[in-house]
Structure 1
Amino acid sequence: MKIKIDIDPKHDEECQITISAKEWTKEIEELVQLLKRKQPKRIVAVQEERSIVLNPEEIDFFFARDRKVFASIKGECMELKMKLYEVEKMLINTGFIRFSKSVIGNINQIDRFELSFNGTLCVYFKSGSKEYVSRKYVSDLKTQIMEGGDL
């Protein structure tokens, strides 16, 4: 893929993107979707009757427990008023990936991981927290890490 950028004061204020290709590919589809999507700047959590604004980049992982969704930042858990699938949809292509049916992790916060005897991965975050990746999602995680995390 070739990328050509033309910066010139004679252009209008509005940015214009042109994609030239022989045929429509999955790579082009992903690029178009990425360009159209607005990335979330903040997520609102609730802790002790207070609303707290969170920066998604600082969050280690999101998890669901007892029909509630929580964000874990440096070992501290804060409840969200969202469903886990809504969090996943909102943070797609931002470095968050599904670890299991009940966990979505931030691969940009991963420090290391260890293979467990049953085929799952134990992921250790920079904050010291840890979470497990089920076998179903291990290959997706490896692919994301090899691609450099954030898309």
Structure 2
Amino acid sequence: MIIRLTVNESNTYNEVEITINCPQIDNELERLIKQINQLHITLTGTKDGRTYSLLVDNLYYIESIDNRSFLYNEKDIYESDLKLYEIEKLLASTHFIRISKNLIVNTALIDSVRALFNGKFEASLMNSEKVIVNRHYVKSFKEKFLT
């Protein structure tokens, strides 16, 4: 499919509007839509007594430990008041996918994946961290990551 991009810049516009005209939505277009959706979603996280608004596009993964949710970007860790299932619901139309009972990963920031001997996968993230995709989540992970 050929994609033609047209940008109209003018001071007469009060907001940005993106319109996609297509014969049908294929995998490539679906990926593009998810990326666009992910650009404007933010989560609130706290660190050292301060509260931050974090773009989910910059988050590598979200982990639940002892019923507390933690947001990981390239270098920092923030705590969220939301439960993991609430965050998963908010990020349903993005590149995030659950890979274990306590972890959601941003597939857009995965550098490589390798199969492990026990049916699990190991995903290497662009910040050099590694996360494990549990067997139960491998099928949905492969569908989201490989398409």
Shorter-chain TM-score above 0.5 = yes
TM-score normalised by L of structure 2? 0.71
C-alpha distance in 2 between matches for 1:146 and 1:113: 10
Letter in 2 for 1:138: V
Q: Corresponding residue for 1:56?
A: 56
- Secondary structure of 1:138's counterpart equals helix
What is the CA–CA distance in structure 1 between the aligned matches of 2:132 and 2:75, rounded to whole Å? 15
State the partner residue of 2:85: 85
Deviation for aligned residue 1:75: 4.1
Is 2:81 the counterpart of 1:66? no
Q: Which residue of 1 aligns with 2:8?
A: none
Tell me, yes or no, if the aligned pair for 1:75 and 1:128 is still in contact at 8 Å: no
- 2:135 corresponding residue in structure 1: 135
Partners of 2:71 and 2:53 in 1: CA distance: 11
Give, in whole Å, the separation in 1 of the partners of 2:102 and 2:145.
Answer: 20
Structure 1 position 121 matched with structure 2 position 116: no
Mapping of 1:14-29 within 5 angstroms? Answer: none
Q: Which residue of 2 aligns with 1:102?
A: 102
Deviations 1:67-114 (A, max 9, x none): 100011114211111000000000002111010110001000000012
Question: SS in structure 1 opposite 2:41?
Answer: coil
Q: Secondary structure at the match of 2:131?
A: strand
- SS of the equivalent of 2:108 reads helix
Q: What displacement does 1:41 show?
A: 2.3
| Structure 2 residues not aligned, in runs of 5+ | 1-29
How far did residue 47 of structure 1 move?
0.2
Question: What is the CA–CA distance in structure 2 between the aligned matches of 1:107 and 1:84, rounded to whole Å?
Answer: 17
* 8 Å contact from structure 1 (residues 74, 129) kept in 2: no
Percent identical across equivalent pairs?
A: 29
Q: Which residue of 1 aligns with 2:27?
A: none
Cα distance in 2, alignment partners of residues 143 and 46 from structure 1: 33
Please state how far the C-alpha of 1:53 moved relative to its aligned partner.
1.2
TM-score in terms of structure 1 length: 0.69
Q: Secondary structure at the match of 2:128?
A: coil
Distance between the aligned counterparts of 1:54 and 1:122, measured in 2? 26
Structure 1 stretches of 4+ moved >2 Å: 38-41
1:146 positional shift: 2.5
The amino acid across from 2:49 in the alignment is E
CA contact (8 A) 1:75 1:129 kept: no
